[in-house]
Structure 1
């Protein structure tokens, strides 16, 4: 399959909006792009009259020969139109489609169901890609998950899982598959206990917390399994408030990240990303 690249287009500095993009091709013609969500960053436009869009960042890398990290248009199998994603090709062999990043607290993550459904933020900085898009991506192939984390003193960690999949909105973006806890520098698996739990936001309570809404209690949105204020309940909350160096259940945490530092490590940097799982 061949993909035709027109040219590198523009740098945008806008939050998620809907926009019709119009660009000149190399022959000076005009061509309007489909309406879609737009984030900041440089990205490539493909000739929609003669090409099938890459379905993820692995196809951008392999079939479009784009080995640098950046923002590109993709279109998963069941997507009605293409959308842009950040491809991380700088770590662990590249080909990663990034769906979440926390870096500096510049983007509010205490948001509504519809905002998590559609996505928000800036693809080159802090963002959530959108549950609709994550669902489309993870249901077209088997994907592995990598989570990179940096704690307040600058120490980096990562966790890898051999499979990651969420359902669609009808079943509340449930975390339906999480594979084996692969080679990692993080000591403890803190995601598997969220398996089979639906996504919860402050305005859509789908957790098992009999005392109320965990998204409200912990100022985030996640696949909460129970009481996020109890260390025997939820063991991770990567969409919590940005409070590096502090302690508390309202901040970003991964319980006991190094196997000896206690219950809560409130994180300075997080990036969640997926890549097609290698065929055995």
Structure 2
């Protein structure tokens, strides 16, 4: 996100350094000092995230309600310089839950967009992506989709849970599950175990 911007909203970025397309994103200029680019945004009941490998690679949706910025975009951004990540859940009772990670990056497609995550800091969600008692950490995992199974499970976690993600075997954090009436299992276990009260979820990144 351009540090010259001061207002939250929709902005155009150039993740590929002029070599490919420009991308419209939602930028948060208030949270934790501002400067956050949303790589994922979902509003209750909007788009299904049970997409193919190619769709997650290229991105889909629109930032006004629901979108995935694209794994290629995430990789290009986070390999230019160090990035942090901020996860936000908003519930229908007004509660807001968050978790910040000091280091976040994604490998290129040859690594299956392998997730690199470190430095969990303060947050009322609590870290579950790196350290958890279930041995289903996300750090170091490859991305999986309904048509590309790269997880550690005997089956396809993405197909079973209906959304692409960095599954282990399978997950205790999963931000791309199906909205009710379908069953979105453990968006962020144990803090948020059901999607029934979620009105918005966002994954945001910014340079450190």
Fold agreement, TM-score > 0.5:
yes
Q: Does 1:100 align with 2:40?
A: yes
Map residues 27-176 of structure 1 onto 2, 5 A cutoff: 57=1, 60-61=2-3, 65-76=4-15, 80-81=19-20, 82-175=22-115
In the aligned structure 1, how far is the partner of 2:182 from the partner of 2:162? 14
Asked whether the 8 Å contact 2:16–2:73 carries over to 1, the reply is: no
For 2:194 and 2:74, locate their aligned partners in 1 and report how far apart those are by CA, in whole Å.
26
- What does residue 216 of structure 1 align with? 159
Partner SS, residue 162 of structure 1: strand
Q: Which has the larger radius of gyration?
A: 1
Equivalent in 247, 250, 253 of residue 187 of structure 2: 253
Residue aligning to 1:189: 127
- Relative contact order, CA 8 A, sep 6+: which one is greater? 2
Whole-angstrom distance in 1 between the partners of 2:10 and 2:92: 28
Query: Which position in structure 2 is the counterpart of 1:275?
Result: 206
Question: How much does 1:107 deviate?
Answer: 1.0
1:109-168 Cα shifts (integer Å, max 9, x gaps): 111111111111111211110000011111111011100112343321100000100101
CA distance in 1, matches of 2:51, 2:185: 14
Structure 1 stretches lacking a partner, 5+ long: 1-56, 229-233, 259-263
Whole-angstrom distance in 2 between the partners of 1:205 and 1:78: 31
Task: Give the TM-score normalised by structure 1.
Answer: 0.67
Aligned length: 199
Relative to the length of structure 2, the TM-score reads: 0.88
Q: Is the contact between residue 76 and residue 140 of structure 1 (CA under 8 Å) also seen in structure 2?
A: no
Note the residue ranges of structure 2 that are not aligned, 5 or more in a row: 131-136
> How far did residue 240 of structure 1 move?
0.5
**Paired residue secondary structure (1:179):** strand
| Counterparts in 2 of 1:251 and 1:241: CA distance versus 1, 3 Å | farther
